[in-house]
Amino acid sequence: MVKVYGCRISYFTGKLETYLRFRSMDYECLPTVGNQRRIRAGAGAVQMPVVELEDGRWLSDSTPMIRWFEDQQDAPSIYPETPTLRFVALLVEDYADEWLWRPAMHYRWSYRQDRQYASGAIFDDLLKDRWIPRWLGRRFLTQRQRAGFVRGDGVTRETWDHVERGYLTVLDRLEAIFNQRDFVLGDSPTIADIGLMGPMLRHFGQDPTPAEIMRNRAPRVYEWVARMWNARPGPGTPSLISGIDTALGDLLGEVAETHLAQLRENAVAYAQGAKRYDQVVQGCSYIQVPVSRYRVWCLERLRKEWAELGEDSKSEVRAHLPGTEGAILWEESPSIVPDYDLENRAPFNLGINVFGRGVPPR
Ligand SMILES: N[C@@H](CCC(=O)N[C@@H](CS)C(=O)NCC(=O)O)C(=O)O
């Protein structure tokens, strides 16, 4: 039985829970609040989720955690065997983790009915035994999340429509994929599906405003969320697509134009020692978004995976990535200076938050 410290409506806790259910692994959910000192000592940073194993070891960060759990399995892996699909799956996971975060936080905290629901749910889960009046706790949570992860992450009147377009586009791209097959890459879940469950399960599929949009605009995605929540490995070997088809290629185009564009600008800003930076994504200007040291590491890991691909795989993936944004995967880049997990110990290293000490600093 592993202990998962998180919250019942948290993005990355939902991603990890989907994986643990898929592998029929028992877990116990515990709140981070009240356990911060132990979490910081064991896992390095307080974020959701962190995991405590029965032998006392701590794990942080859903991406390396799932990879480590998967290494212990004696079953067909959720990381595709073919190098092209493996790379695509990792890229989609990273896009789901790091790019879809902004629209997910925007819908949850910018719309009144969504923030009323979320602040109540988080309060009841994390704060109700803390001697804080419910109204005050909810107000504190709303202000923290809106100031930090919405306005503080570049959502303004000017970027609002583009942020929402990112959600509508991923719905359309996935709807086209699920019109052809049950999961992103074939008849079984891969790490691409698990990654997408971060935003889709506890935010887009559950918060009132984006869930209504999902039901009406992309019913197959809505159905996939439930299918993923209940997914278990099939009896045989997973049957995945033989290469990148049009529907998947269209999703990859969006991933490159948005997520890879942001990863590049973030890495450049980090190398310059900046705390915030401006970026243009699909023609939309985001002013003074927070720099993330963690995301420099994400980019470095993707570049390593890219470097290990054979020439055939590289050209197959490249054909679906717009050159300007895709190039950050293959060009020599002096601006990528990872300085996290240099000993390659993740998920057993001391973790860091995606931004500052949790919320993006002002
Ligand atoms: N890279 C981490 C990210 C975890 C994360 O950022 N979780 C969010 C909540 S879903 C969090 O803890 N944010 C920090 C905060 O709100 O203080 C992972 O993949 O697990």
Q: How many CB atoms lie within 10 A of CB 297?
A: 21
User: Would the CB of 353 count as within 6 Å of ligand 1?
Assistant: yes
Q: What is the mean pLDDT of each run of 10 residues along the chain (362 residues)?
A: 96 98 97 96 97 97 98 96 98 98 98 98 92 95 97 98 98 98 98 98 98 98 98 94 98 98 97 97 98 97 97 97 94 87 95 94 84
CATH number of the domain to which 18 belongs: 3.40.30.10
Query: Is residue 115 one of the residues assigned to a domain?
Result: no
How many angstroms separate the alpha carbon of residue 48 from the centre of ligand 1?
5
Q: Does residue 240 contact residue 188 with C-beta atoms inside 8 Å?
A: yes
pLDDT of residue 129: 85
Q: Whose CA is nearest to atom 17 of ligand 1?
A: 358
How many angstroms separate the CA atoms of 40 and 232, rounded? 33
How many angstroms separate the alpha carbon of residue 242 from the centre of ligand 1?
34
Query: What is the chain's alpha carbon radius of gyration, rounded to the nearest angstrom?
Result: 19
pLDDT of residue 127: 93
> Structurally, how many domains does the chain consist of?
1
Q: Which atom of ligand 1 is nearest to the CA of 13?
A: 10
60 phi and psi angles, rounded to 5 deg:
-130, 155
Q: Does residue 90 contact residue 259 with C-beta atoms inside 8 Å?
A: no
pLDDT of residue 130: 84
Query: Is residue 344 one of the residues assigned to a domain?
Result: no
Residue with tokens 């898929």, as numbered in its chain: 22
Give the helix ranges, DSSP H, for the chain.
Answer: 11-22, 36-43, 62-71, 83-98, 101-110, 112-122, 134-145, 160-178, 191-199, 208-217, 219-229, 246-255, 261-271, 293-307, 311-318, 323-326
Give CA separation, 118 vs 126, 213, 258, 324, in Å: 12, 17, 27, 38
pLDDT of residue 131: 86
Query: Is residue 158 one of the residues assigned to a domain?
Result: no
pLDDT of residue 128: 85
User: Would the CB of 19 count as within 6 Å of ligand 1?
Assistant: no
Query: Is residue 27 one of the residues assigned to a domain?
Result: yes
How many angstroms separate the alpha carbon of residue 159 from the centre of ligand 1?
23
What is the residue range of 59's domain?
2-71
SS3 (DSSP) at 287: strand
Query: Is residue 296 one of the residues assigned to a domain?
Result: no
Predicted model pTM: 0.98
Tokens of 362: 């002002």
Query: Is residue 93 one of the residues assigned to a domain?
Result: no
Those residues with Cβ within 8 angstroms of residue 160's Cβ, 6 or more apart along the chain or in another chain: 106, 110
Tokens of 147: 């100031």
